[in-house]
Structure formats: C-alpha cells, structure tokens
A = this chain, B = another copy of it.
Amino acid sequence: MPETSAEIVAVGSELLLGQHVDTNSAWISSRLAEVGVDVYRHTTVGDNVGRMVEALHQACGRARTVIVTGGLGPTADDLTRVAVARLAGAQLQRHDEIVAYLRDHFRRGGRQMPASNLLQADIPAGARVLEPVGTAPGFAIDVDGSTVWCVPGVPREMTVMVTRDIIPALQRLGAAAATVSRVVRTSGMAESAVDEACAEVTRRLEAMGNPTLAFLASRGETRVRLTAKAADREAALALLDPLVDELVEVLGANVVGLDDEGVEWAVARQLRRLALTLAVAESVTGGGVGARLVTVPGASDWFAGSLVTYATEAKMRLAGVDPSLLESCGPVSQATAVALAEGARARLAADVGLSVVGVAGPTTQGGQPVGLTWVATALPDGSSEASSRRLPARSRPDVQEFAVSMALDFLRRQLAELS
C-alpha cells in the first residue's frame, strides 16, 4: 500500500437519494493531487452505521489515508462518530473543552445551545480533535495502519479543515510529487473549433505524455485544461506556464480568462488598465451582471453601480429611456438596449455603460422568443454598440445566467479594442 494513497468516503443518505450532488470529494481530490497524493477511489454511503463501517474498513485496507466527509452534525442521523468508534474499537468520549466551545459559540450568536449539540462533543477515544469551524469538530484516528480523517460535510467547514489540518499533515508524510492543472477559458468558439486551434499543441503533448490536455465545454464557454505531474508544484507550473502562454496566443481574443478567473476578472483588468468606470443597466438578469462583477475584490475602484430596470416603467424612470422608443421598438430591442447603456452611463456619471435586455421565459414576450437577448455598450467617445443572440438555454435561471456571461463577454471584447 503506497504511503501516499488516499480514499474519500462521503456520508449521507441525501447523496444516495440523488437529492444532493457530492462536490466535496472532487474538491478534496484536487487538493490532494496538488500535494502528490493519489486518490484511487471515492465511496458514498448512507446514514447507516453497518454500511459505513463496512465501507470504511474496506477503504482502510486499500489506502493509508481515508478522508470521511459528513455525518458530524448534531442530529440522530449524524452517525460518523458512532461508525468510526466502532471501526476503531474505541468508546466515544465527551470532550469538556468542546462542550465549552459549543456553549460559547451559541452564546456569541445570542442563542442557547440545544441539548442535542452535546453529541458533537463525543469523539472516539484516542482520536485527535480538529478544531471546529462551525459547531462540528473534526477528528483523526489511526485504524490498522491507516489514518481516518473525519470532517463535516458542510463545504465551508470541510474546506477549512482540509486546508488547515489534513494537507499539512500529508505534506509532512513526504508526498513528493504534485499534479497541477491550469485552465485557459474561451468563449465564442465551438468546442471542436477550440480543439482544431490547439491541434499543434495537442500533437506535441501526446508525443511527450506529460503534461496532458483536455477540452471541457459548458454553457457558452470552452475550457482547455493542461495537467502536469512533476516533483513539486513549482516544477509542474514551469512545465505548464509556457503552454498556457502558447494557447493564449493561439486562441487570441476568444480567451476569457485563466484558471478560476471568469470573464468578470478580464473586465476588471481592462477597466483598471484604461482607468475607466462602469455603470450597468440590467433587465432580464435582474442584477446578475453587477453581482458577478462585485465578486472581484476591489470592484469599487471601477464599478459605479447598476440600474436594474426590470419593470418597463423603471426603464423610463431610472434610465431615462424615451417612452415613444419603448412603445415603437419594445423592451427587448437594439434601440432599448442602447438607450439603457447610455442611460446608465449618464445617470451614474460613469465612463462606460453596459446593458442587457432579453426574454427569460417561460413564455414569449411581445412576440419575442424565449432566450432572445440584446446587449449594448456606451463608450467614452459617445459611441455605442449592440449585439443580439438567441441563447440556447432551457430554463429561466439558465437564460439569465447565460445572458450575464454574454453581456460581460461583449463588454470584454469592446474594452480590448480601446487603448
């Protein structure tokens, strides 16, 4: 059994009923890959002590490190503490310092601790406690030569414990290799067109075997993922970074961003570069364009604000759109989109205006089909541009999310041409 092998066990009947998608296992796996730990299996079991013990016993027989997520809450169906105690042949012991922490946690929140939370202070004897993030402490215990790490299923709490406690411990174990990925994100090209544009790089990498390259398509964006294995993260990045530069060159203006940074980061960089401020007018998206923009730290340096002119009346009242224009062209039209972009720019005294109008569904609007979307920009020189597309999304939130991406990508392309 290799020293750096790991398995992940997700616990929760809601996962087996298909009511939740397990995103924890993928997140943990990507962190383990970064420090060179190979994950050979993910297992999901329900809230059943017998089946949990069976799955954990098998996992410990195959891997040195077993990470369990979920089942650490305060309710009767939170059974990870009980199952791991049984697996390890240990008793549950109540930890006074955890009880004190929990009482204090509730007191600070202005509430009294319900009695059931005391269960969260019960930890298998011999386990090392991982400091809670919310109310659930994690713990780690050795079982037959493997270490079983138990962390909450709540992603916000799980990610802290994995980062703070598990990854450093595995690094100390001497996991020497790293698997690192970088991603080039594009929009406005079909997956097969991106594939063809990258053919020369693909051929070269296939001959070498490392790094590897993959194409992933989703709602209007195609991502190219490069993955390298090397002695450590720095060595892997040294293999990847020149390839990222090459792909950015090849894919040109279609590149939206790199790695975790979506089109809103590209817009932010362009506005900073040009020292311009932005105002938005949104209709179909209800505020989604602004919401995406303000996820970028420091947005207040370049984002003035938005007019969410959802009702037709609001388009006139907030953005000063001419009622006769709305009457003749309709709310989902080139003319209205341009008038909104110009109105946002003027009313918020910003350098650039961006607008989006469309039909989110479920029904058509004034004869316009579901998915039809107009975006427009109003630029510092007084000029404006507009573009329309019938988005291929299926549901109302889908159309809205796609329309946000379309508006931001349209703005990105406009800003790229300014100097």
A residues engaging B (CB < 8 A)? 10, 13-23, 25-33, 39-47, 51, 55, 58, 73-77, 106, 109, 111, 113-117, 134-135, 154, 156, 159-160, 179, 181, 190-193, 195-196, 202, 206, 212, 214-219, 225, 227, 277, 280, 282, 284-295, 297, 299-300, 303-314, 317-318, 347-349, 360-362, 392-394, 396-398, 400
Contacts and interface: CB of A to CB of B under 8 A. Distances in A.
A319 to B, nearest CB: 10
A140 B77 CA distance: 35
Contacts of A111: 190, 193
A114 B190 contact: yes
A77 B22 CA distance: 24
A294 B400 contact: yes
B287 A308 contact: yes
The copy count of this chain in the complex is: 2
A30 B17 contact: yes
A135 B241 CA distance: 32
Contacts of A156: 219, 393-394, 398
Contact of A19 (B135, B181, B348): B181
A14 B311 contact: no
A214 B47 contact: yes
Given A19-B181, A30-B18, A33-B17, A214 B309 contact: no
B13 A19 contact: no
Contact of A297 (B106, B160, B215, B362): B362
A129 to B, nearest CB: 19
Contact of A304 (B41, B291, B313, B361): B313
